[in-house]
Structure 1
Amino acid sequence: MDLLQLRYFQTVARFEHISRAAEELRIAQPSLSRTLARLEAELGTPLFDRQGRRIRLNPYGAMFLRHVDRALSELDDGCRALRDARDSGLGRVSVASETLLTVTHLLGSFRADHPDADVRLYQSDAAEMSRQLRAGEVDFCVASQPLTGTNLESVELAREEVLLAVPPGHWLDGRESVTIPEIADEPFVTTRPGQWQRTLLDQLFTAEGLTPRLSCEGDEPGASQDMISAGLGIGLIPAMSRQAGMETRVPVAWLHLDAPGCHRVLTLVRNRDAYLSEAALKFREFTTDRPFMTHRLPHRRPLHSHDPAQGVS
């Protein structure tokens, strides 16, 4: 079944006359008749009752026409929206991220530079982002862990250390670093399975043959630091959050984790087969041609206790 068959069926259903429909479509009548016959064969049921040279929609045809009308109407609306966006602005760019704090500054800067772009932002976990890319619901995902799926391509935006945050006055407050076995019995504030903090936490503990003890599992990583500061547990926080200058300041103590792989890699992921609007093309260029706001630690730097920063990115 193809789009041309549906267009032909819709026209014949409107006229209920092959010759008139063929004239309207500017094709030969035999060609139109063959196209309808192939459509009915593919559907496995006749759509018209034949009465000599006249044809009438039967109940199956009437049922199918309702769906065809809606589908073609949506397609026509999409074409018009695309033309309007092309002629009056840059069009739309849709971005998904595991946490909104990671991309807030990026999208704000992009919108300031391109006010004609229609920017849409979604918060999704890794599985949902993969589905959104496959379904064409988003143009890009800013991911903190690998996304699965065919035809997905990614560009690394940043690589940063992930730190351990503990409440002020905690027995680790004042330490420079700590190992996973040393904190095996500590309660952790983290996210639900599927979010990058939880995935990293599980990986670090599994490498030591341990299982983390959880005190809180949430959906918004940005709330983790508030809960840690309140004494509900300890948790993994990316260096980006600590280094960014913030209005809201939440006191915690910071430590390095002596564990291989304790870092986060941010990537920009897209479906290579998907259409990109002008806004999406400009967003990709804007994102990949500038340093992403992150803090890289090639060597260990002293960490000061109670260094305030915003919530998790």
Structure 2
Amino acid sequence: MDLLQLRYFQAVARYEHISRAAEELRVAQPSLSRTLARLEAELGSPLFDREGRRIRLNQYGAMFLRHVDRALRELDDGRRALRDARDTGLGRVGVASETLLTITHLLGSFRAAHPRADARLFQSTAAEMSRQLRVGEVDFCVASQPLTGANLASIELAREEVLLAVPPGHRLDGRERVTIPELADEPFVSTRQGHWQRALLDRLFAAEGLTPLVSCEGDEPGASQDMISAGLGIGLIPAISRRAGTETRVPVAWVHVDAPDCHRVLTLVWNRDAYLSEAALKFREFTTSRPFMTHRLPAPHQERAHDPADTP
């Protein structure tokens, strides 16, 4: 068994697709298939269930993947530690977020304060962020919903109200507050399943025994206000957008939602077992030592172990 086999197996397990994994690894598909076959023969157990051209990670593969992820992460951490000790810079810090708009100014301020740090930014769904932390692709995630996985720690950065945005001239334009049942027949602009906006919308409606009517969904939460302004529907938008004065560029009317827990909680999440470079340590200190937003609801910085039983 060698590292090449393990890297190949990890990529195929992530995609559950030979051609996609081969494309990422930049190897020929037959070579990748032969490498997997040799690994399975050496282990004495199939790692994938094969149905024609489709493959699925089986129970033995899932078990083996956990150990492979851990082993490769340790090797990658060792390589990073050596590089950080050798280089004159502070090393690298990787940060993932569901929407880049949330942390654009944060990363800009951090780079200005620590120009020798190599800061890299990724846009990911909650599920993708959990995987990136597990395999060590990123050091931190700024998450708007709980992430699943063992050995995760988090610090609450901010807690803000989420408002209902409606197009100018809408029947709710001018209202101070609205209840969820009043929105039962309204078309919503939202994100796809897996993003915090959609999770919040589904949760608020489920609490009333209702299902939201989603007329437009996408992968970029930051585009929702533009679509609402264009009259494609109404939607849930964090209060930071209103405070930032975006309605001067993208006009919408704002309404408070009369429902419990209609807010967004931003947390900084990392893997307790992962190596953190000097740049990563400085990023954590930089992020948690100042208000994340100009106006926040009271939210003390408290580190806690992640509870996989948390619900979004």
Match for residue 159 of structure 2? 159
* 1:232 aligned residue: 232
Q: Which residue of 1 aligns with 2:268?
A: 268
Amino acid at match of 1:139: D
Kindly tell me: are residues 86 and 109 of structure 1, through their superposed partners in 2, closer, same or farther at Cα, counting changes over 3 Å?
A: farther
Q: Distance in 2 between matches of 1:234 and 1:276?
A: 42
TM score, norm. by length of structure 1: 0.69
Q: CA deviation digits over 1:211-264, x for unaligned, max 9? A: 000110100011100000000000000011111255971110000000011000
Distance in 2 (alpha carbons) for counterparts of 1:271 and 1:229: 39
Deviation at 1:87, TM superposition (A): 2.7
Quickly say closer, same or farther: Cα 1:252–1:86, change in 2 above 3 A: farther
Aligned ranges 1:118-197 → 2 under 5 Å: 118-197=118-197
Local SS of the residue matching 1:273: coil
3-state secondary structure, aligned to 1:165: strand
1:79 matched residue in structure 2? 79
Cα offset for 1:79?
3.2
Corresponding residue for 2:211?
Answer: 211
Provide, for residues 32-57 of structure 1, a one-character-per-residue CA deviation record: whole Å limited to 9, x for no partner: xxxxxxxxxxx589xxxxxxxxxxxx
SS at match of 1:222: helix
- The Cα of 1:76 is off from its aligned counterpart by 9.6
Give the counterpart letter for 1:265 in structure 2.
V
Distance of 2:87 and 2:43 partners within structure 1: 43
Map residues 278-289 of structure 1 onto 2, 5 A cutoff: 278-289=278-289
Taking a change above 3 Å as real, the CA distance of residues 108 and 253 of structure 1, as seen in their structure-2 partners, is same
Aligned Cα RMSD in Å?
2.8
CA contact (8 A) 1:201 1:212 kept: yes
Q: Tell me how far apart the structure 1 counterparts of residues 109 and 218 of structure 2 sit (CA, whole Å).
A: 29
Mapped to 2, the partners of 1:85 and 1:247 lie a distance apart of: 48
Contact 2:80 2:277 in 1 (8 A): no
Give the match's secondary structure for 2:280: helix
Q: Which residue is equivalent to 1:61?
A: none
Q: Is the 8 A contact 1:205 1:211 kept in 2?
A: yes
C-alpha separation in 1, matches of 2:179 and 2:280: 43
Q: How many residues align?
A: 233
SS of match in other structure, 2:268? strand
CA–CA separation in structure 2 for the residues paired with 1:203 and 1:223: 21
Higher alpha-carbon Rg: 1
Question: For 1:168 and 1:247, how far apart are their aligned partners in 2?
Answer: 10
| Structure 2: tracts of 5 or more residues without a match | 4-41, 45-70, 299-312
Q: Distance in 2 between matches of 1:204 and 1:136?
A: 34
Per-residue CA distance 1:16-71 (angstroms, 9 max, x = gap): xxxxxxxxxxxxxxxxxxxxxxxxxxx589xxxxxxxxxxxxxxxxxxxxxxxxx9
